[in-house]
C-alpha cells in the first residue's frame, strides 16, 4: 500500500466518526436525533434534486461536495445548535482547529482542496456556497415542520431567530425561501412560536438577518446609533453620489431617522424629535437602500419604488409616533452633528437611542401595513 493510499483510507475511517455526532433536529415521524452524516447526505441529495431553483447557475458537483464535508469538523468541534448564542461565539475557533487536524490526514493536494472547499462554504460568497447554505437551512426546517415544530418548541426558539437563519436560504434560492416562508407562516397559525413579549428590543445596526425576522405591525424598541437626515441633507448626498464623490457618512447598515429637531433645552442632548413625513425622501430612498441603508424611520406611506427597494435589499421601514416629539426625545441619549451644519435643524446628526419606540410598517417580505391592515378589515 502506498503512503498516499494509506492516508486516504485513514481519512475515510476518521470521517466515519461523523455518524456519532448527533444534532438537535429529529428525524421525520418524530424519530431519534439525526446525526451529522445523515444531515450531510440528505443535503447533498436535496441539492441535486433542487438545483433548478438556485438563484444563479451552479456547479452542482461542487455544491454536493460542500454539503458532504461541511460538518466533518464537528467530529472534533461537536455540533453547535443553530440557536445556541453562547456556542456560536466559539464555533469558528473550534471548527478551524478541527479543520486543520482532520483534513491534514489526507495527502497534501487533497487536504488543500477540501480545506479550500470548506472555507468557500463558510465565506458564503459564491453561488455554490449560497445554494449549499440554502440546503443547510431548508433540510432541518423540513424535518422540523414534519414533526409539528417540536424542536423549536423544545428549545424555545423564536420566529425571529428562525427567519434570521432563513435569510441565507433566500440568498441561495428565492423559490425555496418562499417555501420556507410559507411553512413558517403555517407554524405561526398553529401556535408553534409562542409570543414571549409583544415588544421586540433590537440593537442597531439592522442587519439582513434582523430584518428578515421582522413583520409589519410588530412593535419594536431600537437601541444604539442611528443617523438623522431630512430632505435637504438627502439632496446633498445624492449630488455627491451622482458625481461619484466620497460621502461624509457610512451608508452600510445605516438606520436613517427622518427628523429635524427643535433646539435642545439646557442639559438635554436634543429638543423635540418627532418624525417627519417620509414621502419627502421617497425620490432618494431607493438609491440609498441599494447603497447599503438597512432601515428608515419616519411616518406615512412610501411609494411602490421605495417598497420594492426595501424588499430587494432586505431592509425595513419603521414608523415613529407622530405628535410625540417631546416624549421621543427622552429616548435620545446623545446627539452630535456629523455634517452640513449650515442646514441648521436639517444637518445630518448621529444620535444614540435607548428603547426608541417604533412599529414595523414595511418589511422585506413585501408587507405594507398601510395597505395590508386596511384589507384585513375591509367588508366584502
Architecture in CATH of 3-189: Orthogonal Bundle (1.10)
pTM, whole model, 2 decimals? 0.60
pLDDT of residue 285: 94
pLDDT along the chain (380 residues), means of 10: 96 96 92 95 97 96 97 90 75 90 96 96 94 96 93 83 81 92 87 68 88 90 92 93 92 94 88 91 94 94 95 94 84 92 92 91 92 70
How far is it, in rounded angstroms, from Cα 42 to Cα 272?
A: 57
Q: Which residues of 244-269 are buried (b: 16+ CB within 10 A; e: fewer)?
A: eeeeeeebebbbbbbbbbeeeeeeeb
Instruction: Identify the bridge partners of residue 353 per DSSP, sorted by sequence position.
Output: 224, 332
Residue ranges of the chain that CATH labels 1.10.3210.10: 3-189
The owner of cell 420566529 is 159
Q: How far lies 293's CA from each of 47, 245, 256, 357, 371, in Å? A: 33, 18, 8, 20, 24
CB atoms within 10 A of CB 145: 18
Architecture in CATH of 200-372: Alpha-Beta Barrel (3.20)
Please say whether the beta carbons of 201 and 250 come within 8 A: no
How far is it, in rounded angstroms, from Cα 54 to Cα 62?
A: 14
Q: Do strands 255-257 and 219-228 pair parallel, antiparallel, or not at all (unpaired)? A: parallel
pLDDT of residue 27: 94
How far is it, in rounded angstroms, from Cα 300 to Cα 370?
A: 8
Q: What SS3 string covers 114-167?
A: HHHHHHHHHHCCCHHHHHHHHHHHHHHHHHHHHCCCHHHHHCCCCHHHHHHHHH
How far is it, in rounded angstroms, from Cα 257 to Cα 39?
A: 44
Please say whether the beta carbons of 244 and 291 come within 8 A: no
Residue ranges of the chain that CATH labels 3.20.130.10: 200-372
R_g (Cα) of the chain, nearest Å:
24
pLDDT of residue 240: 94
Amino acid at each position: 500500500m502506498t503512503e498516499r493510499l494509506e492516508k486516504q483510507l485513514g481519512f475515510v475511517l476518521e470521517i466515519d466518526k461523523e455518524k456519532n455526532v448527533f444534532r438537535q433536529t429529529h428525524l421525520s415521524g418524530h424519530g431519534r436525533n439525526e446525526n451529522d452524516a445523515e444531515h450531510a447526505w440528505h443535503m447533498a441529495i436535496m441539492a441535486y434534486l433542487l438545483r433548478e431553483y438556485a438563484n444563479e447557475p451552479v456547479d452542482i458537483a461542487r455544491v454536493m461536495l460542500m454539503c458532504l464535508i461541511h460538518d466533518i469538523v464537528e467530529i472534533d468541534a461537536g455540533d453547535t445548535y443553530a440557536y445556541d448564542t453562547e456556542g456560536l461565539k466559539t464555533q469558528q475557533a473550534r471548527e478551524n482547529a478541527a479543520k486543520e487536524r482532520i483534513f491534514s490526514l489526507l495527502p497534501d493536494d487533497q487536504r488543500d482542496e477540501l480545506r479550500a472547499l470548506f472555507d468557500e462554504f463558510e465565506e458564503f460568497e459564491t453561488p455554490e456556497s449560497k445554494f449549499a447554505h440554502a440546503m443547510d437551512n431548508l433540510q432541518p426546517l423540513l424535518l422540523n415542520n414534519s414533526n409539528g415544530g417540536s424542536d423549536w418548541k423544545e428549545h424555545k426558539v423564536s420566529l425571529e431567530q428562525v427567519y434570521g437563519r432563513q435569510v441565507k436560504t433566500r440568498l441561495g434560492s428565492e423559490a425555496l425561501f418562499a417555501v420556507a416562508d410559507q411553512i413558517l407562516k403555517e407554524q405561526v397559525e398553529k401556535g408553534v412560536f409562542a409570543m414571549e413579549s409583544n415588544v421586540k428590543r433590537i440593537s442597531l445596526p439592522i442587519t439582513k438577518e434582523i430584518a428578515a425576522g421582522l413583520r409589519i405591525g410588530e412593535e419594536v424598541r431600537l437601541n444604539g446609533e442611528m443617523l438623522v437626515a431630512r430632505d435637504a441633507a438627502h439632496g446633498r448626498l445624492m449630488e455627491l453620489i451622482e458625481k461619484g464623490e466620497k460621502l461624509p457618512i457610512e451608508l452600510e447598515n445605516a438606520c436613517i431617522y427622518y427628523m429635524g429637531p427643535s433646539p435642545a433645552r439646557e442639559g438635554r442632548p436634543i429638543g423635540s424629535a418627532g418624525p417627519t413625513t417620509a414621502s419627502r425622501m421617497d425620490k432618494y430612498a431607493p438609491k440609498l437602500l441599494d447603497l447599503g441603508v438597512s432601515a428608515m424611520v419616519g411616518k406615512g406611506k412610501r411609494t411602490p419604488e421605495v417598497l420594492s427597494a426595501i424588499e430587494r435589499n432586505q431592509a425595513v421601514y419603521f414608523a415613529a409616533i407622530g405628535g410625540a416629539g417631546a416624549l421621543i426625545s427622552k429616548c435620545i441619549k446623545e446627539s452630535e452633528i456629523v455634517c452640513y451644519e449650515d442646514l441648521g435643524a436639517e444637518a445630518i446628526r448621529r444620535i444614540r437611542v435607548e428603547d426608541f419606540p417604533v412599529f414595523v410598517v414595511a418589511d422585506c417580505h413585501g408587507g405594507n401595513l398601510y395597505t395590508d391592515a386596511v384589507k384585513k378589515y375591509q367588508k366584502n
